[in-house]
Structure 1
Amino acid sequence: MDRVSHGARRDGSRTGPADGGATSRARGRGARGDRASGDRYRPGTRRATGEPLRASWRPRQDADEPATGDESGTAGTDGDTPPRRRSKLRRLLSTYGWRVYAVPVLLVITALVVVDTTRTDPELGASGDSGSSGTSSTLSSGEAAGVPEQPAEQVDLNIPTAKLPEGGDYTRKGRGTWHVVPGTGRKAGDGGELYTYTVEVEDGIDPASYLGDDGFAQAVEGILSDPRSWTGTGEVSLQRVDASHPDPDFRVSLTTPDTAHRPDICGNSIPFEASCYRRDVDGENRVVINLARWVRGALAFSGDMIGYRQYAINHEVGHALGNGHEGCAQDGALAPVMMQQTFGVANDYVARLNNTPGGDQGTVPADGKVCKPNAWPNPQAR
């Protein structure tokens, strides 16, 4: 049994056991309770039996991490040791987290993009021109099926019908300039829009290989005046003009292979001689007839030089009139004149060539169809 001490009241009377004991016990419980309450929730102490679960107001920290407090970083600790002040970098990371790293990275990326979009390609120049002629193409079509703006490495293609046949000699390289063959012609065709054209020959070609300027000009004019040509559709009329006409709609130009292979003319992305049509930003629309093909023709025409020359003129002039490439529509039928017959009359071969970089991809399906050579847009005309 606990001993109870008796004390005196202010009026001199002594306290009884009930009164003094209750007060002392209450005072004792209060003191012990305060210490127990503080110790009970101190980090690392064991919870007293029957007490409810309760999280510490100050979570435990790793030993190597300084104590943290308010935003100033000067909160006190349980002992007398002054708190360690956080570095500026730690406070910055604590406040902004991953944004500290993200913002500088985004600034660098933005600067690189701005520099890249404003940079000028030294090979193309500020205006994007390509080649040595100082002109650039807005439309590039023809049997070559696309002209790269920069010289491209040739694609190795196994297309036996696309090879240049054996035959006569021709000038490999001219001067890269053309002269207009003198002479004008009558209007051919009665309907549609009138298109004018000049006949031109590259300077530096040996006349013996193409029967001279007049022979070439007469062949071109005769082909385009034939009702089986484009005038037979009733949609266009054609007329040959000479150098006195300052602005013809297109120029039919006999061109050496080396000049035709220039990146600003027909390009050199395929290993076969080809003709093409070229429209330049300065307004000159040029039908380029490759001299090697004019002299030797194409394997698909089996030595029919007249038929091949008719085809070559009609095909490239067809581009000048706004027509695109076509494939063989019916097995065994005449090939459309806008099929690339210089390389063959089988869709599989033409599709393989068109699917090369810079080619007219997707125009001709590789469906196994094979047509017969045809030189005219309107072969049924008389």
Structure 2
Amino acid sequence: MNRTSQAGRDTASSSGARPTPPDDRYRRGTRRTGAEPLTASWEPAGRRHRKRRRGLKGLIANYGWRIYALPVLLVLTALVVLDTAAPTRLGSAGEESAAQTAASTAAGPPVASETPPPKVDLVNIPTAVLPDGPKFSEQGTGTWQVVPGTTPQVGQGKVYKYAIAVEDGVEAADYGGDRDAFARTIDGILADTRSWIGTGEVAMQRVDGTTPVDFTVSLTTTSTTHSLCGFQIQYETSCWHPPTERVVINTARWVRGAKAFSNDLSTYRAYAINHEVGHALKNNHEGCQENGQPAPVMMQQTFGVANDYVAQLNEVDSSNRGIVPADGKTCTPNAFPVAPK
């Protein structure tokens, strides 16, 4: 049974009006009864209805500055996508393309630059001084171990058989930690057609140490080198030692080279091998023959390539005194006895 409050019945009976339909209770301006919940109109009073514009003016009116930002954002997005998808272009051998190089150059000066070695003054500095560099083995036992291995004969003419050995006491760092690699370096120098085999008068063949040899290329500590080669000239050098048929290669020079060769250690090593093997082939020291030309391989290039300077050093060595004339000639460093064809 529906129940109505007394106030409601009195109002209805006295006015004779019908009750407000439930659907009209929330219409603005309608009186709310005590049983009705609070409610807010979705359309605030006093707000005027604006007619929504259409077209470009309407977009601008409705969205303001955002309508201008949209095309810019679209363009930036497209550029990022293209930049990410485009592959890097490389020139030949994996080098940067010219455009990339130009762009990097335009960005500013390089962070790090090359520092080429200074040009060596072959006349006015003491080129016999040992260059600065890594440590080297100074004290050995005076005994050597032959590096196993052989090679085929290279060249034509009288065959000279040789072995390769390392003195006990030489640190592995002096020959790069690999005796076989050290031996291959020697083999490569003696098999070079610019070396003595290029004369067409001699051939070379490495043997394993059990076969008689004509000479042994021996990496030797400085103290043992001094005892075999002498030390009248107070600078490190290598030598040919006839009594033991050893090409004595001083560790100091093998590790650091010579000032006349600047920082070109591999060329100096080739010179040292060819010079001392030249003595095994009965060649004597020579001086610079023509000013400005490559020095003879039998010149004492470990000391320098200026005749005046080498002649001055030889004054204290009776075995070499007077061999090099003090005639003012200066050559350029050279590692091989045969000029390339």
Report the TM-score, using the length of structure 1 for normalisation: 0.56
Deviation sequence 1:250-278 (CA, Å, 0-9, x none): 1100000011011xx10121210010001
Report deviation, 1:159. Answer: 6.8
Q: Specify the SS of the correspondent of 2:248.
A: strand
**Counterpart of 1:202?**
167
**Counterpart of 1:380?**
340
In the alignment, residue 207 of structure 1 is paired with which amino acid?
A
**Counterpart of 1:134?**
none
Matched, 1:227 2:193: yes
Deviation sequence 1:175-223 (CA, Å, 0-9, x none): 1111100000111102x21100000100111112211311221111100
Structure 2 residue corresponding to 1:249, chosen from 214, 222, 226? 214
Q: Distance in 2 between matches of 1:357 and 1:225?
A: 33
| Structure 1 pair 359–199 and aligned structure 2 pair: CA distance change class (3 A) | same
Report deviation, 1:242. Answer: 0.8
Report deviation, 1:359. Answer: 3.5
**Counterpart of 1:166?**
132
Matched, 1:301 2:261: yes
Deviation sequence 1:153-190 (CA, Å, 0-9, x none): xxxxx971100000111111111111100000111102
In the alignment, residue 266 of structure 1 is paired with which amino acid?
C
**Counterpart of 1:77?**
none
Q: Specify the SS of the correspondent of 2:235.
A: coil
Structure 2 residue corresponding to 1:364, chosen from 324, 328, 339? 324
Q: Distance in 1 between matches of 2:262 and 2:339?
A: 19
Is the CA contact 2:254–2:269 (under 8 Å) kept in the aligned structure 1?
yes
Q: Distance in 2 between matches of 1:268 and 1:341?
A: 17
Report deviation, 1:379. Answer: 2.5
Question: What is the 5 A alignment of 1:77-156?
Answer: none
5+ long unaligned stretches in structure 1: 1-157
Q: Distance in 2 between matches of 1:374 and 1:357?
A: 24
**Counterpart of 1:267?**
230
In the alignment, residue 311 of structure 2 is paired with which amino acid?
A
Is the CA contact 1:287–1:316 (under 8 Å) kept in the aligned structure 2?
yes
Is the CA contact 1:159–1:349 (under 8 Å) kept in the aligned structure 2?
no
Question: What is the 5 A alignment of 1:26-45?
Answer: none
Is the CA contact 1:228–1:377 (under 8 Å) kept in the aligned structure 2?
yes
Structure 1 residue corresponding to 2:155, chosen from 162, 171, 189? 189
Q: Distance in 2 between matches of 1:213 and 1:203?
A: 12
Q: Specify the SS of the correspondent of 1:367.
A: coil
Deviation sequence 1:80-132 (CA, Å, 0-9, x none): xxxxxxxxxxxxxxxxxxxxxxxxxxxxxxxxxxxxxxxxxxxxxxxxxxxxx
5+ long unaligned stretches in structure 2: 1-123
Q: Distance in 2 between matches of 1:177 and 1:321?
A: 24
Structure 2 residue corresponding to 1:324, chosen from 276, 284, 296? 284
Which 4+ residue blocks in structure 1 deviate beyond 2 angstroms?
A: none
Is the CA contact 1:256–1:291 (under 8 Å) kept in the aligned structure 2?
yes
Identity of aligned residues (%): 59
Report the TM-score, using the length of structure 2 for normalisation: 0.62
Q: Specify the SS of the correspondent of 2:155.
A: coil
Q: Specify the SS of the correspondent of 2:218.
A: strand
**Counterpart of 1:276?**
239
Q: Distance in 2 between matches of 1:239 and 1:271?
A: 35
**Counterpart of 1:335?**
295
